[in-house]
Homo-oligomer: A and B are copies of this chain.
Amino acid sequence: MIFRQLFEQESSTYTYLIGCEETREAVFIDTVNSEVDQYLQLLKELNLKLVYVLDTHTHADHITAAGALRTATGALTLLGEQAHSFCVSKALHNGDEIRVGQLVLKALFTPGHTDDSYSFIMENKGQIYAFTGDTLLIRSTGRTDFQNGSAADQYESLFNHLLKLPDHTWVYPAHDYKGWTVSTIAEEKAHNPRLQVKDVTAYVDLMNNLKLPDPKMMDIAVPANRACGKT
């Protein structure tokens, strides 16, 4: 397995490149459109053929490179069926398996940050990787106050799905704003301040009182991402 985490500073976005060492097929998760040239350089240098570009959800803080990468490489672009995006190659459903050579990523519907949020779960050599998008962040969770977000749905996604993954599962989120690159389910259970609530009511109350400003790029990014990155 080939694995690279990339960081885009403007929106503090983590992008993941995962490739199969045998077949040289690869997938990108949560790309940023300003970085397309770098993605193409890395694919070429690692001798990888891009087959899929996944987005965990319709982002409000940056524009996806999915469309540009599809044009450049012929890869298929995937996004949750709930996004109702007319331009993706294929809509994702809960439980879908995305095969990249000998690797399999399982799509897990984890709504709450948005109503089209998915996580991708992969196992390789006994190690489980959870790409949690904006659902589970390191010591935080994604806001739930726009784009049909729902704190109650996010509670369900977190407590009844993601936190039920094995303790040693790596947590790779779509963002981190303090420079942390990875966590584990055990760590988040123990130390994520938003996960110490006693029930769904307390979580909803917590999330509904964050009083966050709208993301700077929201009015541009959401329609652009629905159009696969075309602005």
Main secondary structure, interface of A, reads mixed
- Measured between alpha carbons, how far is A209 from B180 in the docked complex, in Å? 36
A216 part of interface (Cβ distance < 8 Å): no
Interface residues of A in 170-192 (CB under 8 A from B): 178-182, 187, 190-191
Report the stretch among A2-10, A105-113, A154-162 that lies at the interface: A2-10
A217: shortest Cβ distance to chain B, in Å?
A: 18
Flag if B4 contacts A180 (CB, 8 Å).
Answer: yes
Q: Which of B179, B181, B190 contacts A9 (CB 8 A)?
A: B179
A38 part of interface (Cβ distance < 8 Å): yes
Closest 6 CB pairs of A and B: A7-B179, A45-B191, A5-B181, A6-B179, A8-B179, A6-B180
A residues contacting B by CB (< 8 A) are 4-9, 35, 38, 42, 45-46, 178-182, 187, 190-191
